[in-house]
Amino acid sequence: MGLNDNDGLKRVIGIPSLAATVVNNTIGAGIFALPAVVGIAMGASGVLAYVLCGLIVISIMLCYMEIGTKITESGGSYIYVEKAFGPLAGFIINWLFFFGWGVLGSAAIWNVLADSLAVLFPVFLNPVMRGLLFFVLLGSLVIINVTGAKNSVKFVTYITVIKIVPLIAIAIFGISHIKTNNLHWDHLPTLQTTGSSVLALFFAFVGFETSLSSSGEIKDPTKTIPRGVFLGSITAYIIYIALQVVTQGILGTHISAYKAAPLAAVAEDIIGPVGATILVAAAVISCLGNESGDMLATPRLLYAGAKDGLFPKFLAKVHPKYATPYMAVIVYASLEFILSVSGGFKQLAILASCTLLIIYLAVILAMLKFRRQTDPSAEKTFRIPGGILIPLIAIAAIIWLLTTLSGNEILSTAIFIAIVCVIYFIMRWFKKKDLTN
């Protein structure tokens, strides 16, 4: 399997579409509460946490951009690690991403969506109605994604625009409501306070890596990936900072009273009670947008893993008419539905933060390994300036963030990885047994 093989998938994702998916995957439901988290901890100096977090995420993002222009198949993080370090490493990363980050995180977001809708329509507090809601929405996303990646990209693009419009409106119209004394710095925050705020922000800033799981359907990836990822990430970053400044400037020391929904409080201050309703609707759309982007990208991990024999072969089937990995999409949606309605994912949700950091670390190491190759075509791909300085900064930042996690998070992740390794070796044993029979 060559580095640029896309096995019949159509390359339909251009720079605007990729940028839109990055914005969509980055700006999630967390943005509607995040300004209060940072504001309560750091006050007006919270912008420092955004700057520091932005530098960390950008360093990781650049590493993804470099390896993403070298390996342009579908599979994203999985395929990068698998080609660098072999099938076992790839198998672990695929499971960490698709289950530890993808399925569990998506199940949580679906429940956030239902909780948000329940504010306006209490009927969605009923488990049966929630299950019906999940079935209809997931079924719709399956149809959109099976009938063509181009349809999926269009849907993601449209919903991204819809969900960021109210956020941009708050940032623009909120400026005139800012009280300048609320932005006055009384003191510098401690390193520990800054670190905890950066960690909270970090998991709200990520999402660009999910967009690259569809690399096999990206047009001219050596140009589209760096430009699309950069444009999308910068757009999301500006929106985040603008909302933090406006929220802090309007609510000031009273921000703790609105820690559950600070943006809704800001919207109500700007345009009255209807503003809070609009923001609830925006939260629902944001959740749906996240899930539409995830449904476009993450099933490609199952597809790529199945092509390499890590998952059942039927997951590698490409639809004869629409040229999409339709079985992977259906199976992934089914897993999301089961965990969303069961609620059992809550006990495993602590895996998400640790698994993502491990995935990032593995991808950066894979990037460094591929950089050492003397492939002539590498001259045409994106390369991070400054030698290994930026990758080393990214590695140091990831290790620092790992040290801030609890013992339970690390232990749970270690147990999960051990189970995945056992599954891998059992599968190898059965394969060898089949070959000898």
| Residue 252 within any structural domain of the chain | yes
- Selected residue with higher pLDDT from 1 and 280: 280
pLDDT number for residue 151:
74
Whether the CA torsion 408, 41, 168, 219 is positive or negative: it is negative
CA 47 to chain centre: 22
Strand, coil or helix: what is 218?
Answer: strand
> pLDDT by residue (tens digit) across 288-298?
887 887 888 78
pLDDT number for residue 3:
45
Give me the residue label for tokens 């992934």: 332
| Residue 9 within any structural domain of the chain | no
- Tell me how many domains the chain contains: 1
> pLDDT by residue (tens digit) across 179-201?
999 998 877 888 778 887 887 78
**Mean pLDDT, the chain, integer:** 83
Q: How many CA atoms, within 13 angstroms, populate the side-chain half-sphere of residue 276?
A: 11
pLDDT number for residue 63:
92
> pLDDT by residue (tens digit) across 320-330?
888 888 999 99
Q: Is the separation of the CB atoms in 268 and 201 below 8 Å? A: no
| Residue 218 within any structural domain of the chain | yes
| Residue 47 within any structural domain of the chain | yes
Instruction: Tally Cβ neighbours within 10 Å of residue 354.
Output: 25
| Residue 87 within any structural domain of the chain | yes
Q: How far is CA 73 from CA 231, 233, 326, in A?
A: 21, 22, 17
Phi, psi of 319 (to 5 degrees): -60, 130
| Residue 3 within any structural domain of the chain | no
pLDDT number for residue 412:
83
- pLDDT-based confidence at 43, cuts 50/70/90? confident
Q: Given a cut of 90, is residue 364 above it in pLDDT? A: yes
pLDDT number for residue 17:
83
> pLDDT by residue (tens digit) across 195-251?
878 877 877 777 777 777 666 778 887 788 888 888 988 898 899 999 999 999 999
- Selected residue with higher pLDDT from 359 and 284: 359
Give me the residue label for tokens 């009938």: 147
pLDDT number for residue 4:
46
| Residue 219 within any structural domain of the chain | yes
Range(s) of the domain holding residue 332: 15-436
pTM, rounded to two decimals? 0.76
Nearest to 355 by CA among 178, 167, 206: 206
CATH number of the CATH domain containing 359: 1.20.1740.10
| Residue 102 within any structural domain of the chain | yes
